[in-house]
Structure 1
Amino acid sequence: MAMTHLQPDPSPYPADAFAAFELLSSAILVIDDDGLIRYANAPAEDLFEVSVRQLYAVQAGDLFRDGEQLRQSLEEARRHLFADKRQILEIDRLGREPTQVSVTVVALDGQPWPALIELREIEQQLKVDREERLLEQAQANRELLRNLAHEIKNPLGGLRGAAQLLEAELSDPALIEYTQVIIQEADRLQTLVDRLLVPHRAPRIVGDVNIHEVCERVRSLVLAEYPNGLRIVRDYDAAIPEFRGDKAQLIQAVLNVVRNAAEALSARIAAGDAEITLRTRVARQVTLAKQRFRLALELHVMDNGPGIPPELLDRIFHPLVSGREGGSGLGLTLTQTFVQQHEGVIECDSRPGLTDFRLLLPLP
């Protein structure tokens, strides 16, 4: 991408003319009559990986591999031949593969600038759409589970009580054994129902949270369970600030993921080469639950296990879905609930030899 490094000239527009664009998650470029960039917001800096100073007064078409298409669209916008026009173009960034972006040119009336350009990475747009679907699905799952748990809970108490009354009238030990089976199974179902209702019942205790204290607590708990054959690697960014949250919920959320990883590593633990990595980083200009955040915590839980079966990967956060014999299928569902209660998201990528759970939480 050919760019001239010009010193910004005094803007012909009011100082606050573009303030609203800084609140948007998409990249915005404001273009003058000559096709030059006169304003770029922070997401545009992130997209092109250069500063506003480097973007200022650059020919917008020079930013793209096939800039002639854009130059033609800007000329048509200047002549008011359309209201808006969308096209797919490619940008080059140093050390990266060419990136496809959705480019929308908007013709403006009654403004001192003739056009603006809105840009979104195709991959990023697909990611946002996927996160929105996951949020909607998670909300539907929570409502279903809560309603189902309440429907089960009421007759369950009556069933257990009736079994206890019947047992009191029986003298034959063989028959009492049957009532004990009923009582024990009722108790097991009660425990399951209580777990389903935990996120909705327990009050949140919000305070200052240091994510590395959370990681260290989880690390010590899991290593106590697996003292031999498992290595948990710390890869922390010490500059990550504290944030407001429920520390107990976050410990449980991370613990569920790390325990799942340890259970999936059973063969490697036996061989002595099992490894889980806890990595923390700061992500910038992140959209979470349709809201834009300047900074976000990015926590990766990575393991070198066999990977999640492809047929389960899209459903691992659904309730009662488990890839492990005897698993309840509630651990990751609860983790997703706790993360979403902190306005965050959790994602997973998996292939043989590497499973990566990524938690994103907004930072102040």
Structure 2
Amino acid sequence: MRHIAIPVAAGLLAAALAGPALAQDKPVELRFSHWVPPGHPMHPAVEAWAESIKKASNGTITIKIFPAQQLGKAFDHYNMARDGIADFAHVNPGYEPGRFPIMGLSEIPFIFANSKEGSAALDAWYRKYADKEMKDVKYCMTFAHDPATFHTTNKKIVVPGDVKGMKIRPANATISRFISLLGGTNVPASAPEARDVLEKGVAEGITFPWGSIVLFGIDKVTKHHLDAQLYVTEQTFVMNKDKYNSLSPAQRKVIDDHCTPEWSEKIATPWATMESSGRDKIKAQPGQDVYPITPAQLAEWRKAAEPLMKEWESQVKKAGGDPAAIYKDLQDELKKRNSLY
């Protein structure tokens, strides 16, 4: 009996010490910056995430959310977390070409079948590499929006050759390169600025998920929509390292418990639902042309995207990575969650 009682007593003592330690931790308020509007489904998902952190920390960690680029432009959010302008930041790594070569794999067309379970797969895959690519911040999680496509103002895009000569706002660095390979001209603009460049005629088309076309009012200026699942864009939450390290061990554990593939899927799910519902909303609008493509046309798109994989492999090799192993890692995670294209 004595041998059993000692570990039980030790466990009870550890539990007794852990509770008060968390309760006695110094209260801290963390600033979370993102760049989508409060009406975007990611905003309430982040609110629920923040509330869960508050509850798990016995109220010692509160998170104040700054939406809609209040603390800085969308393109700057990684640096904002690194430099402490924000404690947490919502980053689109694809806004910074060449900075995160491994992450770039997620942007290549025809890899993701969905972004719910697919987001959990994406996060589980990338956290193996995050310390290498995002070493100047504390990595939290990555998820993706629902598979997206081309939307244009006047000229229809049906096959890859139609992009030639067109001015397109790209979603990320990889899609930007795709547009260049197809003979188009890129018009860089963050999501909140996208409608403006289309309205002014600076761009003739955009690569965007369906629901966001409606949310950002882009359906007011676009009328042709390619009905195909082409690509996803990754979204990453990162934290200022010094702020993370300043937290108590118990508080850091709360943060770690909220930076997981499971939370990635929770954050992604309402966004994915909104995006997928956008297709039917656009189809129901008068004057909107939502058109399917044939299997042969889809094969053309897949063929046209092949050079992107070769270029990604080259970039990863230059960064010291093994592209074959990294790609297999992602495929395995996606297969595990029934999300491989």
Taking structure 2 as the reference length, the TM-score comes to 0.20
Flag the structure with higher helix content: 2
Q: Which has the higher contact order (CA 8 A, sep 6+)?
A: 2
Flag the structure with higher strand content: 1
Taking structure 1 as the reference length, the TM-score comes to 0.19
